[in-house]
Amino acid sequence: MGGIGKTTLAQLVYKDNRVKEHFDLQSWVCVSDDFDVFGVTKTVLESVTSSTCDIKDLNLLQVKLQQKLMGKKFLLVLDDVWNENYADWEILSNPFKIGAPGSIVIVTTRSCNVASIMNALPIDRLKPLVEGDCWSLFAKYAFHDDEFDLSKGGLANSPHAHYGNHTQIFIAACII
């Protein structure tokens, strides 16, 4: 299901300072439905090296990426993966097998098939927030209100009532 926070959750993990301190290297790649092993590999390498790469051969590209990952503990996020081709994943993942113990690849996807193909364990299926949790989360970040209580009448009886129905429409969209 789209829009339930898979990418946002991965971003929170990726940007957390404790996580940054734990890994030697970090890379974020938005894959989307245009899954190209060469392109994704090149993007990971460029992210890891912070420089552009002119290599045109997939094998040479993967050897270079392996050299950069060898012995390093890395965090790689592959965001919004749609490709369900096992062979593509096997080719893409070859350079990742050389990292230090504790290296992690996080994959966000709408497809349980993708997670299954990638041998992801465990598979965490996010569920949409219930209305009360959605309101509380919204109030916390929009109004900096950690004590918003939907049971006391929601927005209508809150100090933020002047925001009116526009906020309720936004929250309704968040719940869907």
Q: Please tell me what DSSP assigns to residue 98.
A: G
pLDDT of 64 over the 90 cut = yes
The maximal CA–CA distance of the chain, rounded, in angstroms, is 63
Q: What is the pTM of this model?
A: 0.68
Q: What is the dihedral of CA 92, 77, 8, 128, to 10 degrees?
A: 50
Place of tokens 């051969």: 57
Per residue in 102-115, pLDDT (tens digit) is 998 888 887 777 76
Say how far apart CA 166 and CA 43 lie, in whole Å.
Answer: 40
Instruction: Show me where the domains of the chain are located.
Output: 6-117, 131-175
Give the pLDDT band (50/70/90) at residue 81. Answer: confident
